[in-house]
Chain A
Amino acid sequence: MIYFDNVSKLYSDGRAAALQEVTFQVAPKEFVSIVGHSGAGKTTLLKMIIAEDQPSHGKVFYESLDIHKISRSRLPQYRRKIGTVFQDFKLLPHKTAFENVAFAMEANGRSDEEIAENVPQALALVDLDDKAWNFPHELSGGEKQRVAIARAIVNQPDIIIADEPTGNLDPIATYEVVQILRKINDLGTTVIMTTHNKGVIDEIERRVITMDDGRIVRDDATGKYVL
Protein backbone atom coordinates (compact mmCIF):
# COMPACT_ATOMS: atom_id res chain seq x y z
CA MET A 1 0.00 0.00 0.00
CA ILE A 2 3.07 2.27 0.34
CA TYR A 3 5.40 2.48 -2.65
CA PHE A 4 8.74 4.26 -2.74
CA ASP A 5 9.80 4.73 -6.34
CA ASN A 6 13.50 5.60 -6.68
CA VAL A 7 13.30 8.29 -3.99
CA SER A 8 16.28 10.56 -3.22
CA LYS A 9 16.50 13.41 -0.79
CA LEU A 10 19.35 15.90 -1.17
CA TYR A 11 20.03 18.88 1.03
CA SER A 12 20.95 22.19 -0.50
CA ASP A 13 23.96 22.68 1.78
CA GLY A 14 25.86 19.85 0.05
CA ARG A 15 25.72 17.37 2.89
CA ALA A 16 25.47 13.73 1.97
CA ALA A 17 22.04 12.79 0.68
CA ALA A 18 19.56 11.70 3.34
CA LEU A 19 18.03 9.19 0.95
CA GLN A 20 19.56 7.74 -2.22
CA GLU A 21 17.49 5.92 -4.81
CA VAL A 22 15.27 4.20 -2.31
CA THR A 23 12.76 1.77 -3.80
CA PHE A 24 10.58 -0.58 -1.78
CA GLN A 25 6.96 -1.26 -0.98
CA VAL A 26 4.92 -2.14 2.04
CA ALA A 27 1.95 -4.48 1.72
CA PRO A 28 -1.23 -4.12 3.80
CA LYS A 29 -1.08 -5.65 7.29
CA GLU A 30 2.70 -5.90 7.18
CA PHE A 31 4.89 -5.09 10.19
CA VAL A 32 8.05 -3.50 8.85
CA SER A 33 11.00 -2.50 11.00
CA ILE A 34 13.57 -0.10 9.60
CA VAL A 35 16.98 -0.23 11.26
CA GLY A 36 20.22 1.63 10.76
CA HIS A 37 22.67 4.01 12.39
CA SER A 38 21.70 7.56 13.27
CA GLY A 39 21.65 9.59 10.10
CA ALA A 40 21.04 6.54 7.91
CA GLY A 41 17.82 8.16 6.65
CA LYS A 42 15.21 6.28 8.67
CA THR A 43 13.36 9.33 9.97
CA THR A 44 13.52 11.07 6.57
CA LEU A 45 11.87 8.00 5.10
CA LEU A 46 9.01 8.18 7.60
CA LYS A 47 8.63 11.93 7.06
CA MET A 48 8.10 11.25 3.36
CA ILE A 49 5.16 8.99 4.18
CA ILE A 50 3.37 11.61 6.29
CA ALA A 51 4.23 14.33 3.74
CA GLU A 52 6.32 16.27 6.25
CA ASP A 53 9.25 16.18 3.84
CA GLN A 54 9.49 16.36 0.04
CA PRO A 55 11.68 14.06 -2.05
CA SER A 56 14.25 15.65 -4.37
CA HIS A 57 13.74 12.88 -6.91
CA GLY A 58 11.31 10.01 -7.20
CA LYS A 59 7.79 9.52 -5.96
CA VAL A 60 6.05 8.12 -2.91
CA PHE A 61 2.61 6.57 -3.33
CA TYR A 62 -0.12 5.70 -0.89
CA GLU A 63 -2.05 3.14 -2.92
CA SER A 64 -2.50 5.03 -6.22
CA LEU A 65 -2.13 8.47 -4.63
CA ASP A 66 1.10 10.45 -5.16
CA ILE A 67 1.62 11.72 -1.62
CA HIS A 68 3.56 14.80 -2.63
CA LYS A 69 0.93 15.92 -5.09
CA ILE A 70 -1.76 16.19 -2.41
CA SER A 71 -2.95 19.79 -2.10
CA ARG A 72 -2.34 21.55 1.17
CA SER A 73 -6.01 21.69 2.00
CA ARG A 74 -6.40 17.93 1.46
CA LEU A 75 -3.32 17.01 3.49
CA PRO A 76 -5.11 16.81 6.86
CA GLN A 77 -7.53 14.30 5.38
CA TYR A 78 -4.65 12.17 4.15
CA ARG A 79 -2.86 12.35 7.49
CA ARG A 80 -5.94 11.00 9.24
CA LYS A 81 -5.29 7.67 7.53
CA ILE A 82 -1.95 7.46 9.34
CA GLY A 83 -1.33 7.24 13.05
CA THR A 84 2.05 8.52 14.28
CA VAL A 85 4.09 7.61 17.34
CA PHE A 86 7.38 9.35 18.24
CA GLN A 87 10.32 8.81 20.51
CA ASP A 88 9.46 11.95 22.50
CA PHE A 89 5.74 11.04 22.70
CA LYS A 90 4.54 14.50 21.60
CA LEU A 91 1.63 14.62 24.01
CA LEU A 92 -0.11 17.91 24.79
CA PRO A 93 1.12 18.66 28.33
CA HIS A 94 -2.01 20.55 29.41
CA LYS A 95 -4.35 17.75 28.50
CA THR A 96 -5.09 14.52 30.38
CA ALA A 97 -4.47 11.14 28.77
CA PHE A 98 -8.15 10.96 27.85
CA GLU A 99 -8.12 14.49 26.39
CA ASN A 100 -4.97 13.79 24.40
CA VAL A 101 -6.60 10.83 22.75
CA ALA A 102 -9.92 12.61 22.37
CA PHE A 103 -8.15 15.54 20.72
CA ALA A 104 -7.18 13.43 17.72
CA MET A 105 -10.83 12.53 17.28
CA GLU A 106 -11.98 16.13 17.72
CA ALA A 107 -9.51 17.24 15.06
CA ASN A 108 -11.09 14.66 12.77
CA GLY A 109 -14.51 16.11 13.41
CA ARG A 110 -15.90 13.06 15.21
CA SER A 111 -19.03 13.46 17.32
CA ASP A 112 -19.00 13.62 21.12
CA GLU A 113 -20.78 10.25 21.28
CA GLU A 114 -18.08 8.56 19.20
CA ILE A 115 -15.39 10.14 21.38
CA ALA A 116 -17.06 8.96 24.58
CA GLU A 117 -17.19 5.45 23.14
CA ASN A 118 -13.89 5.06 21.30
CA VAL A 119 -11.42 6.81 23.62
CA PRO A 120 -11.94 4.39 26.55
CA GLN A 121 -11.62 1.49 24.10
CA ALA A 122 -8.32 2.79 22.79
CA LEU A 123 -7.03 3.39 26.31
CA ALA A 124 -8.13 -0.12 27.30
CA LEU A 125 -6.22 -1.55 24.35
CA VAL A 126 -2.99 0.01 25.66
CA ASP A 127 -3.94 -1.02 29.20
CA LEU A 128 -4.29 2.50 30.57
CA ASP A 129 -7.98 2.73 31.47
CA ASP A 130 -7.07 3.47 35.07
CA LYS A 131 -4.83 6.44 34.15
CA ALA A 132 -7.26 8.18 31.78
CA TRP A 133 -7.46 11.33 33.90
CA ASN A 134 -3.76 11.73 34.61
CA PHE A 135 -1.73 14.45 32.94
CA PRO A 136 1.40 13.44 30.98
CA HIS A 137 3.76 14.62 33.73
CA GLU A 138 2.07 12.18 36.09
CA LEU A 139 2.80 9.23 33.79
CA SER A 140 5.95 7.15 33.31
CA GLY A 141 7.73 7.10 29.95
CA GLY A 142 6.17 3.79 28.96
CA GLU A 143 2.72 5.02 29.96
CA LYS A 144 3.17 8.21 27.96
CA GLN A 145 4.13 6.18 24.90
CA ARG A 146 1.08 4.01 25.37
CA VAL A 147 -1.12 7.13 25.46
CA ALA A 148 0.56 8.23 22.22
CA ILE A 149 -0.21 4.83 20.68
CA ALA A 150 -3.84 5.05 21.85
CA ARG A 151 -4.01 8.47 20.18
CA ALA A 152 -2.49 7.05 16.99
CA ILE A 153 -4.98 4.19 16.72
CA VAL A 154 -8.16 5.88 17.95
CA ASN A 155 -9.16 7.06 14.49
CA GLN A 156 -8.65 3.53 13.11
CA PRO A 157 -5.88 4.49 10.70
CA ASP A 158 -4.68 2.24 7.89
CA ILE A 159 -1.05 2.60 8.93
CA ILE A 160 0.84 3.27 12.15
CA ILE A 161 4.17 5.07 11.72
CA ALA A 162 6.38 4.71 14.78
CA ASP A 163 9.68 6.61 14.85
CA GLU A 164 11.94 5.10 17.53
CA PRO A 165 8.93 4.41 19.79
CA THR A 166 11.09 2.62 22.37
CA GLY A 167 14.06 5.00 22.18
CA ASN A 168 13.39 6.61 25.55
CA LEU A 169 12.07 3.57 27.39
CA ASP A 170 13.48 1.05 29.83
CA PRO A 171 13.46 -2.65 28.82
CA ILE A 172 10.15 -3.50 30.47
CA ALA A 173 8.35 -0.53 28.96
CA THR A 174 9.97 -1.34 25.63
CA TYR A 175 8.61 -4.85 25.82
CA GLU A 176 5.10 -3.59 26.61
CA VAL A 177 5.11 -1.07 23.76
CA VAL A 178 6.30 -3.67 21.25
CA GLN A 179 3.62 -6.09 22.42
CA ILE A 180 0.98 -3.42 21.92
CA LEU A 181 2.26 -2.62 18.42
CA ARG A 182 2.14 -6.33 17.56
CA LYS A 183 -1.38 -6.55 18.91
CA ILE A 184 -2.42 -3.61 16.73
CA ASN A 185 -0.76 -5.27 13.74
CA ASP A 186 -2.57 -8.51 14.50
CA LEU A 187 -5.84 -6.57 14.46
CA GLY A 188 -5.08 -5.63 10.84
CA THR A 189 -3.23 -2.31 10.90
CA THR A 190 -0.01 -1.91 8.92
CA VAL A 191 2.90 -0.87 11.15
CA ILE A 192 6.12 0.81 10.00
CA MET A 193 8.61 1.30 12.80
CA THR A 194 12.18 2.53 13.02
CA THR A 195 14.41 1.37 15.83
CA HIS A 196 17.94 1.01 17.16
CA ASN A 197 17.01 -1.75 19.48
CA LYS A 198 18.40 -5.18 18.55
CA GLY A 199 16.26 -6.95 21.13
CA VAL A 200 13.08 -5.50 19.70
CA ILE A 201 13.90 -6.63 16.16
CA ASP A 202 14.89 -10.13 17.15
CA GLU A 203 11.74 -10.51 19.19
CA ILE A 204 9.27 -9.34 16.53
CA GLU A 205 10.59 -11.74 13.86
CA ARG A 206 9.06 -9.80 10.97
CA ARG A 207 10.37 -7.98 7.91
CA VAL A 208 13.46 -5.84 8.54
CA ILE A 209 14.80 -3.18 6.20
CA THR A 210 18.38 -2.14 6.96
CA MET A 211 19.52 1.32 5.88
CA ASP A 212 22.98 2.78 5.65
CA ASP A 213 23.99 6.18 4.33
CA GLY A 214 20.58 6.82 2.78
CA ARG A 215 20.39 3.48 0.94
CA ILE A 216 18.55 0.27 1.61
CA VAL A 217 21.29 -2.33 2.11
CA ARG A 218 19.22 -5.30 3.29
CA ASP A 219 15.56 -6.26 3.15
CA ASP A 220 14.80 -9.55 4.93
CA ALA A 221 11.34 -11.08 5.25
CA THR A 222 11.92 -12.32 8.79
CA GLY A 223 15.01 -10.42 9.61
CA LYS A 224 17.46 -10.26 12.41
CA TYR A 225 19.25 -7.11 13.45
CA VAL A 226 22.42 -7.06 11.37
CA LEU A 227 24.63 -4.00 11.10
Chain B
Amino acid sequence: MMTGFRRVVKAGFVGFWRNAYVSLASIFVLTVALFVIGSTMLLDQLLTTSLNTLQSKVDINVYFVPDAPEEEIEAIRTAVAALPDVSSVTYTSREDALEQYRERRQGDEISLQALAELDENPLGANIAIQAQETSQYENIARFLDEQQAQEEPQVQVIDVINYAQNKDSIDTLTGIILATEQASLIVMGILLLAAVLITFNTIRLAIYTSREEIAIMRLVGASNMFIRGPFMLQGIMYGFIAGLLALLIFYPLLIWIGPGTETFFEINLFDYYVQNFGDIFGIIVGIGVVLGLVSSTLAVARYLRT
Protein backbone atom coordinates (compact mmCIF):
# COMPACT_ATOMS: atom_id res chain seq x y z
CA MET B 1 0.00 0.00 0.00
CA MET B 2 2.71 2.47 1.03
CA THR B 3 4.87 1.31 -1.88
CA GLY B 4 1.98 1.98 -4.26
CA PHE B 5 1.43 5.46 -2.83
CA ARG B 6 5.11 6.30 -3.04
CA ARG B 7 5.20 5.13 -6.68
CA VAL B 8 2.11 7.17 -7.58
CA VAL B 9 3.65 10.31 -6.03
CA LYS B 10 6.95 9.70 -7.77
CA ALA B 11 5.24 9.06 -11.11
CA GLY B 12 3.26 12.29 -10.63
CA PHE B 13 6.40 14.37 -10.18
CA VAL B 14 8.28 12.61 -12.97
CA GLY B 15 5.34 13.07 -15.33
CA PHE B 16 5.21 16.73 -14.40
CA TRP B 17 8.86 17.30 -15.34
CA ARG B 18 9.04 15.04 -18.40
CA ASN B 19 6.03 16.77 -19.94
CA ALA B 20 7.33 20.17 -18.88
CA TYR B 21 5.94 21.93 -21.93
CA VAL B 22 2.45 20.53 -21.47
CA SER B 23 2.62 21.24 -17.74
CA LEU B 24 3.63 24.80 -18.48
CA ALA B 25 0.73 25.29 -20.87
CA SER B 26 -1.76 23.91 -18.34
CA ILE B 27 -0.36 26.09 -15.56
CA PHE B 28 -0.50 29.14 -17.80
CA VAL B 29 -4.16 28.60 -18.67
CA LEU B 30 -5.04 27.87 -15.05
CA THR B 31 -3.19 31.00 -13.95
CA VAL B 32 -5.20 33.12 -16.37
CA ALA B 33 -8.42 31.47 -15.18
CA LEU B 34 -7.56 32.05 -11.53
CA PHE B 35 -6.51 35.61 -12.29
CA VAL B 36 -9.90 36.23 -13.88
CA ILE B 37 -11.65 34.69 -10.88
CA GLY B 38 -9.54 36.75 -8.48
CA SER B 39 -10.20 39.93 -10.46
CA THR B 40 -13.94 39.36 -10.32
CA MET B 41 -13.67 38.82 -6.59
CA LEU B 42 -11.75 42.06 -6.10
CA LEU B 43 -14.09 43.92 -8.42
CA ASP B 44 -17.02 42.63 -6.44
CA GLN B 45 -15.35 43.85 -3.25
CA LEU B 46 -14.84 47.23 -4.89
CA LEU B 47 -18.49 47.41 -5.90
CA THR B 48 -19.77 46.31 -2.51
CA THR B 49 -17.65 48.87 -0.70
CA SER B 50 -18.59 51.74 -2.96
CA LEU B 51 -22.25 50.75 -2.81
CA ASN B 52 -22.02 50.75 0.99
CA THR B 53 -20.45 54.20 0.87
CA LEU B 54 -23.22 55.42 -1.40
CA GLN B 55 -25.86 53.85 0.79
CA SER B 56 -24.45 55.49 3.90
CA LYS B 57 -24.95 58.84 2.24
CA VAL B 58 -28.68 58.26 1.91
CA ASP B 59 -30.72 59.24 4.95
CA ILE B 60 -34.04 60.63 6.13
CA ASN B 61 -33.99 63.94 7.97
CA VAL B 62 -36.71 64.84 10.42
CA TYR B 63 -36.81 68.57 11.21
CA PHE B 64 -38.55 69.58 14.40
CA VAL B 65 -40.26 72.87 15.04
CA PRO B 66 -37.98 75.28 16.95
CA ASP B 67 -40.00 75.18 20.17
CA ALA B 68 -40.43 71.42 20.23
CA PRO B 69 -39.92 70.15 23.78
CA GLU B 70 -36.74 68.15 24.31
CA GLU B 71 -38.57 65.17 25.77
CA GLU B 72 -40.88 64.88 22.73
CA ILE B 73 -37.88 64.88 20.40
CA GLU B 74 -36.17 62.34 22.63
CA ALA B 75 -39.29 60.14 22.55
CA ILE B 76 -39.43 60.11 18.74
CA ARG B 77 -35.70 59.54 18.49
CA THR B 78 -35.88 56.53 20.81
CA ALA B 79 -38.90 55.15 18.96
CA VAL B 80 -37.13 55.45 15.60
CA ALA B 81 -33.89 53.96 16.93
CA ALA B 82 -35.88 50.96 18.17
CA LEU B 83 -37.08 50.11 14.65
CA PRO B 84 -35.38 46.94 13.36
CA ASP B 85 -34.47 48.47 9.98
CA VAL B 86 -32.71 51.50 11.41
CA SER B 87 -28.94 51.33 11.63
CA SER B 88 -28.24 54.75 13.17
CA VAL B 89 -29.92 57.94 14.31
CA THR B 90 -27.89 61.13 14.57
CA TYR B 91 -29.28 63.96 16.64
CA THR B 92 -28.44 67.58 15.88
CA SER B 93 -29.51 70.10 18.55
CA ARG B 94 -30.83 73.59 17.74
CA GLU B 95 -27.49 75.15 18.68
CA ASP B 96 -25.54 72.74 16.49
CA ALA B 97 -27.95 73.32 13.62
CA LEU B 98 -27.33 77.03 13.90
CA GLU B 99 -23.60 76.49 14.01
CA GLN B 100 -23.75 74.35 10.90
CA TYR B 101 -25.88 76.92 9.14
CA ARG B 102 -23.37 79.61 9.91
CA GLU B 103 -20.54 77.52 8.58
CA ARG B 104 -22.39 76.78 5.36
CA ARG B 105 -23.20 80.42 4.79
CA GLN B 106 -19.64 81.63 5.45
CA GLY B 107 -19.12 84.73 3.30
CA ASP B 108 -22.81 85.10 2.56
CA GLU B 109 -23.15 88.41 4.46
CA ILE B 110 -26.84 88.96 3.77
CA SER B 111 -27.90 85.67 5.25
CA LEU B 112 -25.65 86.10 8.26
CA GLN B 113 -26.94 89.63 8.80
CA ALA B 114 -30.52 88.41 8.55
CA LEU B 115 -29.71 85.81 11.15
CA ALA B 116 -28.17 88.40 13.42
CA GLU B 117 -31.38 90.53 13.17
CA LEU B 118 -33.36 87.75 14.80
CA ASP B 119 -33.65 87.65 18.55
CA GLU B 120 -33.62 83.94 18.83
CA ASN B 121 -32.41 80.85 16.95
CA PRO B 122 -34.92 80.23 14.13
CA LEU B 123 -33.75 76.69 13.51
CA GLY B 124 -35.19 73.56 15.04
CA ALA B 125 -33.38 70.43 16.05
CA ASN B 126 -33.27 67.53 13.59
CA ILE B 127 -32.43 63.87 13.44
CA ALA B 128 -30.79 62.05 10.54
CA ILE B 129 -31.86 58.43 10.20
CA GLN B 130 -29.95 55.74 8.30
CA ALA B 131 -31.39 52.40 7.38
CA GLN B 132 -29.47 49.15 6.92
CA GLU B 133 -30.78 48.76 3.38
CA THR B 134 -31.92 51.48 1.03
CA SER B 135 -35.16 49.60 0.42
CA GLN B 136 -36.08 49.98 4.09
CA TYR B 137 -36.43 53.76 3.93
CA GLU B 138 -39.99 53.40 2.73
CA ASN B 139 -40.98 51.67 6.00
CA ILE B 140 -39.21 54.17 8.17
CA ALA B 141 -40.81 57.06 6.31
CA ARG B 142 -44.23 55.49 6.78
CA PHE B 143 -43.60 55.13 10.50
CA LEU B 144 -42.62 58.80 10.74
CA ASP B 145 -45.65 59.89 8.76
CA GLU B 146 -47.87 58.02 11.20
CA GLN B 147 -46.12 59.72 14.11
CA GLN B 148 -46.73 63.07 12.48
CA ALA B 149 -50.37 62.27 11.83
CA GLN B 150 -50.97 61.30 15.45
CA GLU B 151 -49.76 64.64 16.73
CA GLU B 152 -52.35 67.12 17.88
CA PRO B 153 -52.48 70.10 15.52
CA GLN B 154 -51.83 72.76 18.21
CA VAL B 155 -48.75 71.05 19.63
CA GLN B 156 -46.89 70.09 16.44
CA VAL B 157 -43.44 68.72 17.08
CA ILE B 158 -42.34 67.47 13.64
CA ASP B 159 -41.97 70.23 11.13
CA VAL B 160 -40.78 68.51 7.91
CA ILE B 161 -39.82 64.99 6.92
CA ASN B 162 -37.64 65.22 3.83
CA TYR B 163 -38.15 61.66 2.63
CA ALA B 164 -40.76 62.59 0.06
CA GLN B 165 -38.33 65.07 -1.48
CA ASN B 166 -35.51 62.54 -1.53
CA LYS B 167 -37.71 59.65 -2.53
CA ASP B 168 -37.03 59.76 -6.25
CA SER B 169 -33.27 59.85 -5.92
CA ILE B 170 -33.37 57.15 -3.26
CA ASP B 171 -35.51 54.92 -5.48
CA THR B 172 -33.17 55.41 -8.44
CA LEU B 173 -30.16 54.64 -6.33
CA THR B 174 -31.78 51.51 -4.90
CA GLY B 175 -32.52 50.35 -8.44
CA ILE B 176 -28.97 50.98 -9.62
CA ILE B 177 -27.49 49.20 -6.63
CA LEU B 178 -29.63 46.11 -7.10
CA ALA B 179 -29.06 45.99 -10.86
CA THR B 180 -25.29 46.36 -10.43
CA GLU B 181 -25.16 43.58 -7.89
CA GLN B 182 -27.18 41.25 -10.10
CA ALA B 183 -25.14 42.09 -13.19
CA SER B 184 -21.86 41.50 -11.40
CA LEU B 185 -23.18 38.17 -10.15
CA ILE B 186 -24.08 37.07 -13.69
CA VAL B 187 -20.76 38.25 -15.13
CA MET B 188 -18.92 36.42 -12.37
CA GLY B 189 -20.86 33.25 -13.10
CA ILE B 190 -20.10 33.39 -16.83
CA LEU B 191 -16.41 34.09 -16.25
CA LEU B 192 -16.19 31.26 -13.77
CA LEU B 193 -17.85 28.86 -16.18
CA ALA B 194 -15.51 29.93 -19.01
CA ALA B 195 -12.50 29.50 -16.75
CA VAL B 196 -13.59 26.01 -15.73
CA LEU B 197 -14.25 24.92 -19.34
CA ILE B 198 -10.95 26.26 -20.67
CA THR B 199 -9.01 24.65 -17.86
CA PHE B 200 -10.78 21.36 -18.31
CA ASN B 201 -10.04 21.34 -22.03
CA THR B 202 -6.39 22.19 -21.59
CA ILE B 203 -5.82 19.44 -19.06
CA ARG B 204 -7.75 17.05 -21.25
CA LEU B 205 -5.36 17.84 -24.11
CA ALA B 206 -2.41 17.38 -21.76
CA ILE B 207 -3.67 13.93 -20.83
CA TYR B 208 -4.49 13.13 -24.46
CA THR B 209 -0.75 13.16 -25.13
CA SER B 210 -0.43 10.40 -22.54
CA ARG B 211 -3.17 8.14 -23.91
CA GLU B 212 -0.68 5.58 -25.27
CA GLU B 213 0.96 5.42 -21.90
CA ILE B 214 -2.41 4.89 -20.21
CA ALA B 215 -3.21 2.08 -22.66
CA ILE B 216 0.10 0.38 -21.84
CA MET B 217 -0.48 0.75 -18.11
CA ARG B 218 -3.81 -1.00 -18.49
CA LEU B 219 -2.25 -3.80 -20.54
CA VAL B 220 0.31 -4.59 -17.89
CA GLY B 221 -2.49 -4.84 -15.34
CA ALA B 222 -2.12 -1.51 -13.52
CA SER B 223 -5.12 -0.77 -11.33
CA ASN B 224 -7.22 2.26 -12.21
CA MET B 225 -6.03 4.11 -9.12
CA PHE B 226 -2.41 3.42 -10.03
CA ILE B 227 -3.01 4.95 -13.48
CA ARG B 228 -5.16 7.83 -12.29
CA GLY B 229 -3.08 8.78 -9.26
CA PRO B 230 -0.15 10.48 -11.00
CA PHE B 231 -2.48 12.52 -13.22
CA MET B 232 -4.53 13.61 -10.23
CA LEU B 233 -1.37 14.66 -8.45
CA GLN B 234 -0.27 16.59 -11.52
CA GLY B 235 -3.65 18.34 -11.62
CA ILE B 236 -3.21 19.37 -7.99
CA MET B 237 0.30 20.64 -8.75
CA TYR B 238 -0.93 22.64 -11.74
CA GLY B 239 -3.64 24.23 -9.59
CA PHE B 240 -1.32 24.99 -6.70
CA ILE B 241 1.41 26.57 -8.82
CA ALA B 242 -1.13 28.50 -10.92
CA GLY B 243 -2.74 29.79 -7.71
CA LEU B 244 0.60 31.06 -6.42
CA LEU B 245 1.38 32.67 -9.78
CA ALA B 246 -1.99 34.43 -9.91
CA LEU B 247 -1.47 35.77 -6.37
CA LEU B 248 2.01 36.90 -7.38
CA ILE B 249 0.64 38.80 -10.39
CA PHE B 250 -1.91 40.59 -8.22
CA TYR B 251 0.75 41.97 -5.91
CA PRO B 252 2.48 44.54 -8.16
CA LEU B 253 -0.76 45.18 -10.01
CA LEU B 254 -2.54 46.19 -6.82
CA ILE B 255 0.37 48.32 -5.63
CA TRP B 256 -0.09 50.17 -8.88
CA ILE B 257 -3.87 50.59 -8.92
CA GLY B 258 -4.39 50.67 -5.12
CA PRO B 259 -4.11 54.48 -4.71
CA GLY B 260 -6.43 54.95 -7.68
CA THR B 261 -9.17 52.83 -6.15
CA GLU B 262 -8.65 54.66 -2.85
CA THR B 263 -9.58 58.04 -4.30
CA PHE B 264 -12.38 56.78 -6.50
CA PHE B 265 -14.03 53.98 -4.52
CA GLU B 266 -12.81 54.90 -1.03
CA ILE B 267 -11.11 51.53 -0.59
CA ASN B 268 -7.44 50.78 -1.23
CA LEU B 269 -7.49 47.40 -2.96
CA PHE B 270 -3.84 46.78 -2.12
CA ASP B 271 -4.54 47.23 1.61
CA TYR B 272 -7.56 45.00 1.27
CA TYR B 273 -5.41 42.36 -0.50
CA VAL B 274 -2.72 42.45 2.18
CA GLN B 275 -5.17 42.46 5.10
CA ASN B 276 -7.22 39.56 3.73
CA PHE B 277 -4.31 37.65 2.21
CA GLY B 278 -5.06 34.49 4.18
CA ASP B 279 -8.60 34.28 2.84
CA ILE B 280 -7.65 35.25 -0.71
CA PHE B 281 -4.81 32.71 -0.71
CA GLY B 282 -7.19 30.02 0.49
CA ILE B 283 -9.84 30.83 -2.11
CA ILE B 284 -7.56 31.24 -5.16
CA VAL B 285 -5.22 28.34 -4.43
CA GLY B 286 -8.19 26.25 -3.26
CA ILE B 287 -10.14 26.87 -6.48
CA GLY B 288 -6.98 26.16 -8.49
CA VAL B 289 -6.34 22.83 -6.76
CA VAL B 290 -9.97 21.72 -7.03
CA LEU B 291 -10.13 22.80 -10.68
CA GLY B 292 -6.90 20.95 -11.54
CA LEU B 293 -7.89 17.85 -9.62
CA VAL B 294 -11.41 17.61 -11.01
CA SER B 295 -10.26 18.34 -14.58
CA SER B 296 -7.53 15.71 -14.56
CA THR B 297 -9.73 13.11 -12.87
CA LEU B 298 -12.49 13.61 -15.43
CA ALA B 299 -10.04 13.69 -18.33
CA VAL B 300 -8.26 10.49 -17.40
CA ALA B 301 -11.55 8.70 -16.68
CA ARG B 302 -12.15 8.78 -20.43
CA TYR B 303 -9.26 6.40 -21.01
CA LEU B 304 -10.12 4.05 -18.17
CA ARG B 305 -13.44 2.77 -19.49
CA THR B 306 -14.05 -0.88 -20.33
Contacts and interface: CB of A to CB of B under 8 A. Distances in A.
Contacts of A84: 219-220
Interface string B217-248: 11111111010000000000000000000000
Interface centre among A51, A77, A103, A151 (most CB of B within 10 A): A103
Interface string B146-182: 0000000000000000000000000000000000000
A79 B216 contact: no
A20 to B, nearest CB: 23
Nearest to B215: A90
B212 interface: yes
A200 B212 CA distance: 29
Interface in A95-119: 103-104, 106-109, 111-112
Contacts of B220: 79-80, 84, 103-104, 107-108, 151, 155
B213 interface: yes
A76 B219 contact: no
Contact of A50 (B3, B4, B219): B219
Chain B residues touching A, majority SS: helix
Chain A residues touching B, majority SS: loop
Interface residues of B, number: 18
Interface string B183-223: 00000000000000000000000000000110111111111
Interface centre among B212, B215, B216, B218 (most CB of A within 10 A): B216
Contacts of B302: none
B306 A51 contact: yes
A107 to B, nearest CB: 3
Given A94-B18, A109-B4, A73 B224 contact: yes
Contact of A92 (B7, B213, B223): B213
A106 B229 CA distance: 13
B3 A92 contact: no
A91 B215 CA distance: 11
Interface of A: 50-52, 72-73, 76-80, 84, 90-92, 94, 103-104, 106-109, 111-112, 151, 155
7 nearest A-B pairs in the assembled complex, by CB-CB distance: A107-B222, A80-B221, A104-B220, A79-B221, A76-B223, A76-B221, A107-B220
18 contacts: A51-B306, A73-B224, A76-B222, A76-B224, A77-B221, A78-B221, A79-B221, A80-B221, A84-B219, A107-B217, A107-B222, A107-B223, A107-B226, A108-B221, A109-B3, A109-B4, A112-B3, A155-B220
